[in-house]
Amino acid sequence: MCGIIGYIGNKEIIPVLLKGLRCLEYRGYDSTGIAIHKGENLNVVKSVGKLSNLEEVLKKEHLLNGANGKNGKNGKSGHVSCGIGHTRWATHGEPSDINAHPHFDSDEKIAVVHNGIIRNYQEVRDSLIQKGYKFATETDTEVVVQLISYNFKETNSILKSIFKSVNELEGSYALGILFKQEPDKIYAVRREAPLVIGIGSGENYLASDSATVSQFVEKIIRLEDNEIAEISKENINFYNLKGEILKKEIQTVTRSKDILDKRGFKHYLAKEINEQAEVVSNLLKDFLPSHEKPIQFNHLKLTPDFLKTIDRILILACGTAYHAGLVGKYVFENLTSIPTEVQFASEYLNSKPLLTEKSLVIGISQSGETADTLAAVKKAISKGATFVGITNKQDSALADLAKEHLLISKAGLEVSVAATKTFLAQMTVLYMLAIYIAETIDSSNPKKLSLVKQELRLIPQLIDQTLTRQEHYQKQVLQYANNPDFVFIGRGINYPIALEAALKLKELSYIHASGYASGEMKHGPIAVLDTKVPVVSIIVPGETYDRVFQNSLEAKSRQAPMIAVAVDGDKKVESIFDTILRIPPITELISPFLTVIPLQFLSYYIAEHLGRDVDQPRNLAKSVTVE
């Protein structure tokens, strides 16, 4: 959540910062701002709302000319362009012009952008107020810049003031810092929040993720926790919090030229839903090229001896990744018979870990930077458990924790805040991991595993067939767009899909929605049903079919509008459901790959019909980097 961009070099500074901020929009934000060296001074411009609002302010202040984003020279001839930019997602203080980043110190000699949370900000703020400092904002970030200002006056050294300040701050943060007296340097700090430096020729960049800097350069250096960088256009110096010089390795990334390409779709979300067959296909090609061969996780350093002695599996995740984990629970227990538990990472932080050296912990995070998940995983690892990470980002904090136990979901960049293709990618990896473990620990039923692998190999084709029905789904679901509440129900492996569908509708349309195990409806939730509350039942042939059908009858008797996600050829559902969203025939164990797709479209089309910001829903961030 939030995004940082920085640049130092000879290019025109404002267009570079704006381009970087556009690449960071997908992370979610409610205000934007930039700080640049302009001659002898620091100049801060910021605005609440979308990036276009900031561009209008820049035009009014004659810092930006025309739609092409070009601006005049900054400061004196030959002056190095140096600046930082930020997209803010509010945590302390409401979204407003004054609370937007960057923040000045009282003397306007230091400007700071910040991602993360300063946990002891109130104590530091009170201390600075006693020393005569006045605060203009409600943010924890202003505490950072005022503290640096105070320590700079005490030490008369930029680096010492940063070292001293970050050692006094508690929390998670990534910082970009400009000093008035250093017009050709940017300072950066990382503690439990992502920060990447892009290395160019006679220029360098700073950003919250590699995808943003890859728009400009191919070489990067990732800051690790508790590291500080001093960046000029020709050199970068790295330090730890003691001020000791560090050596860092340069990495190469694929240069992304089409990060903002919607490929003809109206929204990134529509594009990403339609990419799901390709995503699953790419994973299968890499790890399951044939149903006759074992899963090929050769890079996954888990010994057969360990796999055969696993006493339990714990899956830690948040949001949509948590729902993928719930699907994974059913698959692991079905294929491996290993007891599997799924916990919200945020709740696990307050629990007493019941783990041993024989336990396998799986952490799932789309971005690899989810703060709750990272903290929970570290807690689990401290108890001696073996950790496997599943993420979409190979250069992430989760990937660093996993090391040789890492599975990349390979979904490609997901721009829309609401996760879709990364959800299917996470599920695919979990299915294959379950098969991988099952093939290692028990060879007594190879036919069952072979059949599951055959079905997985067919999934891309079946997803493609489902995607061809999106116009039909649109016509079917728009009649429900004005209902104020929805209820989604499912059983067994499709209960997590009911939860995911409810989450998507809330995220995208702002309509209240709840997901339930269908058997729980009669234990309380059925009280909310009436003619204005549609019930969406996920009902596919298998062990749970008859029970879901009976639970749906109970909902219909309360006069609720009834919607089904059901397979082709199922005539029985026509007797009680008003609307049927059909999918190709599929076995129950594999069905989540298809049942989720019409429900993704349901949320998308209703949100679009209601005029919502589909790709950047209010109050949400793509990468949740604060606990």
- For residues 103 and 137, is the Cβ–Cβ distance under 8 A? yes
Instruction: Read off the pLDDT band of 1 (50, 70, 90).
Output: low
Question: What was the pLDDT predicted at 74?
Answer: 47
Q: Tens digit of pLDDT for each residue in 483-495?
A: 999 999 999 999 9
The helix/strand/coil state of 155 is: helix
470-616 has the same fold as 3-252: no
pLDDT score at 11: 94
Reported as a single tens digit per residue, the pLDDT across 371-395 is: 899 999 999 999 999 999 999 988 7
State residue 217 phi and psi, 5-degree precision: -140, 170
The lowest-confidence range among 169-173, 317-321, 404-408, 426-430 is 169-173
The Cα angle at residue 450 between residues 448 and 453, in degrees rounded to 5: 115
248 is catalytic: no
For the chain, domain boundaries: 3-252, 261-468, 470-616
Q: Is the dihedral of CA 97, 99, 100, 101 positive or negative?
A: positive
Stretch 194-211: mean pLDDT: 92
Average pLDDT for 543-560? 96
> What pLDDT, on the 0 to 100 scale, is given for residue 67?
41
402 in Cβ contact with 387 (< 8 Å): yes
* pLDDT tens per residue across span 270-305: 999 999 999 999 999 999 988 888 898 888 889 999
Q: What does the block give as tokens for 566? A: 């059901």
Rounded Cα gap, residues 364 and 318, in angstroms: 8
Mean pLDDT of 207-213: 88
pLDDT in tens, 327-364: 999 999 999 999 999 999 999 988 888 899 999 999 99
User: Which residue in 215, 212, 616 sits closest to 416, CA to CA?
Assistant: 616
Alpha helix stretches (DSSP H) within 199-249: 210-213
CATH superfamily, domain 261-468, is Glucose-6-phosphate isomerase like protein; domain 1 (3.40.50.10490)
Say if residue 254's pLDDT is above 80. Answer: no
Q: Is 242:281 a contact under the CB 8 Å cutoff? A: no
Task: Specify which of 50-54, 189-193, 220-224, 591-595 reaches the highest per-range mean pLDDT.
Answer: 591-595
Q: Are 32 and 53 in contact (CB under 8 A)?
A: yes
CB atoms within 10 A of CB 459: 23
How far is Cα 244 from Cα 81, in angstroms, rounded to an integer? 28
Question: What proportion of the chain, given as a percentage, has pLDDT over 70?
Answer: 96
Phi-psi region of 492 (alpha: psi -120 to 50; beta: other; left: phi over 0): left
**Cβ neighbours of 101 (radius 10 Å):** 29
Between 443 and 519, residue with greater pLDDT: 519
Beta bridge partners of 28: none
Active-site residue (options: 393, 421, 453, 622): 622
Residues in the chain: 627
- pLDDT exceeds cutoff 50 at 76: no
253, two tokens: 């990334």
- Across the chain, mean pLDDT equals 91
Question: Helix, strand, coil % (nearest 5) of the chain?
Answer: 40, 25, 40
Annotated active-site residue 82? The verdict is no
pLDDT above 50 (res 75): no
Q: Tell me, what DSSP letter sits at residue 119?
A: T
State the Cα–Cα distance between residues 422 and 410, nearest whole angstrom. 8
What does the pLDDT read at residue 397?
Answer: 85
DSSP structure class, residue 322: H
Question: What is the pLDDT at residue 627?
Answer: 63
Catalytic residue among 2, 23, 82, 318: 2
Q: What angle separates helix 319-336 from helix 446-467, to the nearest 10 degrees?
A: 150
Query: What b-and-e string marks burial along 396-431, b requiring 16 or more CB atoms within 10 Å of the CB?
Result: bbbbebbeebbbbbbbbbbbbbbbbbbbbbbbbbbb
According to CATH, the topology of domain 3-252 is: Glutamine Phosphoribosylpyrophosphate, subunit 1, domain 1 (3.60.20)
CA distance 181 to 107: 12
What CATH number has the domain spanning 470-616? Answer: 3.40.50.10490
